[in-house]
Amino acid sequence: MSSVQIPSLPAGAIDREHPDYDEARMLWNADPTIQGRPLAILRCGTVDEVQAAVRLATAGGLPLAVRCGGHSFPGHSVCDDGILIDLAPLNAVIVDPEKRTVEVGGGALLGDVDAAAQAHGLAVPAGIVSHTGVGGLTLGGGVGYLQRLHGLTCDNLLSAELVDFNGDVIEVDAESHPDLFWGLRGGGGNFGIVTKFAFRAHPVGPEIVTGWVAWPFEQAADVLRMYREQATDAPRDVLLHMHLWPAGLSGTDLVPEELWGRGIIVIRPSYFGPIENWEQALETVRSFGAPLMDTVGPASFLSLQSTFDDLMGHGENHYMKAANLRSLDDGAIAAIVTALNEAPNEFCEVEIFPMGGAVADVPADASAFGDRSFAFLCECTTSWQDPEDREISRAWSRALHESLEEFSTGLNYMNMLFDANDETVSAAYGAGHWDRLREIKRRYDPENVFRLNPNVPPTEAPA
Ligand SMILES: Cc1cc2nc3c(=O)[nH]c(=O)nc-3n(C[C@H](O)[C@H](O)[C@H](O)COP(=O)(O)OP(=O)(O)OC[C@H]3O[C@@H](n4cnc5c(N)ncnc54)[C@H](O)[C@@H]3O)c2cc1C
């Protein structure tokens, strides 16, 4: 039992005696080694409540964790013996269809934004699982299906309302606080709590084209060679998302029952161009070899955005290392295929996202999301059920990641960085961005109150 006492908690606080405590503190990633036991969980539905919660934590010198969707892979959004600010009730989404802007509460989920924006035929580029939080995803970058056409989520950020370490509110945009605005677009939750985001939205859907084309896993190397050309040469309104499942999928309607347990390599195209041209746009991919399945056709944008919701549901154990690949050289393909063939269990998989397009239009020094040069984000993902499998699964993921190093830019995507420490976080940003982030941190969070994230420690104050 901790000896720390909190003077007085606001009404509605969930303390350790509360019947909802254990459920409320749990992260999406259920790995028991990354969970925490905060003294109290404060669910904040207004900016005032967030301000009061920050002041309560800092007055008591308590660790402070901030949560939006709770999808931090390594579990940054919980703490031990401190205050967890859960922004879930702060999830209002207001769309201005005339200006094509969307205001989003700092605790909203991607599905909240998609549903509200699609009601006006609009979309904010964001991630691919609708129960992910807007907060963490945006502040780290935001990779998703619309990125080749309209950029990352953070590239579409217009302004933010932020509660700082003092509990004061700062309105941030490119004119008022250019340094902080730079840092918020890729620097994670290092500078304060964003209670409201304003985004640029784009006309999308409601009908787009998507589906799955799957080949036998044994043909992975051939399909990957075709994929690397198609994915990078594709027009911006085509995005080819890839999954390699050497042990296949089972118990899901994402693949027909006769293919359950069959190792597959899948390209998941999404097409946002004129609907009548879709077959021509996706012909090369769909006519390659002899696919085991092809479900590509018109679908709603909302269905595209929620396809993986169940497959990536809450309550499983996960680990992942992601590489920023310069290209999918033959060597990288061989490393991926070999690792998957030698996987220690059926939960090891690789997911590949093509970058480029509008992402690469943004200069590297325009925001804290600094690596605009890589062609593919390659996620070496594993999960396990038996705790005995934890270390062997994690070791597999690390080993594949290491073997991809020679094909990588050396930088990393902050939202997919496990094992964060000064060394890995500074290497992930690269020297120029790291120094700039540390200086912004000194200005806006000199005591490092917001440190439960891929942390950027402040520079020393000038003498
Ligand atoms: C199932 C799943 C699918 C994913 N899909 C994608 C994807 O398609 N594209 C992609 O780019 N990434 C994806 N990710 C990675 C995702 O971007 C990160 O895990 C992100 O941190 C999740 O945000 P969150 O708000 O849900 O997380 P949380 O765990 O709530 O927060 C993560 C970090 O952000 C901070 N934070 C959160 N909200 C705020 C806020 N309002 N103000 C200040 N700090 C805040 C937290 O303190 C913490 O440090 C996915 C992750 C999962 C688990």
> 228 vs 233, 265, 269, 286, 336, CA distance in Å?
8, 14, 13, 15, 13
pLDDT of 148 higher than 50: yes
Q: How far is the CA of 227 from the centre of ligand 1 (A)?
A: 28
Atom number in ligand 1 closest to CA 153:
11
Categorize the per-residue pLDDT at 96 as very low, low, confident or very high, splitting at 50, 70 and 90. very high
Atom number in ligand 1 closest to CA 195:
41
Mean pLDDT of 89-98: 98
* Average pLDDT score, the chain: 96
Categorize the per-residue pLDDT at 448 as very low, low, confident or very high, splitting at 50, 70 and 90. very high
Q: How far apart are CA 377 and CA 347, in angstroms?
A: 19
Percentage of residues in the chain with pLDDT exceeding 90? 95
Q: How far apart are CA 24 and CA 120, in angstroms?
A: 33
pLDDT of 165 higher than 50: yes
**Among 406, 409, 449, which residue's Cα sits nearest to residue 429?**
409
Percentage of residues in the chain with pLDDT exceeding 70? 98
**Among 151, 284, 303, which residue's Cα sits nearest to residue 226?**
284
Atom number in ligand 1 closest to CA 318:
53
Q: Is 73 in the pocket of ligand 1 (CB under 6 A)?
A: yes
pTM (whole model) above 0.85: yes
Categorize the per-residue pLDDT at 7 as very low, low, confident or very high, splitting at 50, 70 and 90. low
pLDDT (tens digit, 9 = 90+) per residue, 312-330?
999 999 999 999 999 999 9
Per the CB < 8 A criterion, the answer to whether 361 and 151 are in contact is yes
Q: Is 139 in the pocket of ligand 1 (CB under 6 A)?
A: yes
**Among 288, 144, 148, 283, which residue's Cα sits nearest to residue 215?**
288
Q: How far apart are CA 328 and CA 334, in angstroms?
A: 10
Rounded to the nearest 5°, which phi and psi values hold at 419? 55, 45
Q: How far apart are CA 145 and CA 190, in angstroms?
A: 26
pLDDT (tens digit, 9 = 90+) per residue, 194-246?
999 999 999 999 999 999 999 999 999 999 999 999 999 999 999 999 999 99
| Residue 336 CB-half CA count within 13 A | 36
Q: Is 109 in the pocket of ligand 1 (CB under 6 A)?
A: no
Q: How far apart are CA 457 and CA 444, in angstroms?
A: 11
What is the pLDDT, as a whole number, of residue 5? Answer: 59
Mean pLDDT of 40-47: 98
Mean pLDDT of 408-426: 94
Q: How far is the CA of 413 from the centre of ligand 1 (A)?
A: 12
What is the pLDDT, as a whole number, of residue 8? Answer: 85
Q: How far apart are CA 454 and CA 140, in angstroms?
A: 10
Atom number in ligand 1 closest to CA 135:
38
Coil vs helix vs strand at 89? coil
Q: Is 129 in the pocket of ligand 1 (CB under 6 A)?
A: yes
pLDDT of 3 higher than 80: no
Q: Is 87 in the pocket of ligand 1 (CB under 6 A)?
A: yes
Mean pLDDT of 291-303: 98
pLDDT of 461 higher than 80: no
User: What sign has the CA pseudo-torsion 142, 147, 152, 156?
Assistant: negative
Categorize the per-residue pLDDT at 462 as very low, low, confident or very high, splitting at 50, 70 and 90. low
pLDDT of 91 higher than 80: yes
Categorize the per-residue pLDDT at 1 as very low, low, confident or very high, splitting at 50, 70 and 90. very low
Q: How far is the CA of 77 from the centre of ligand 1 (A)?
A: 9
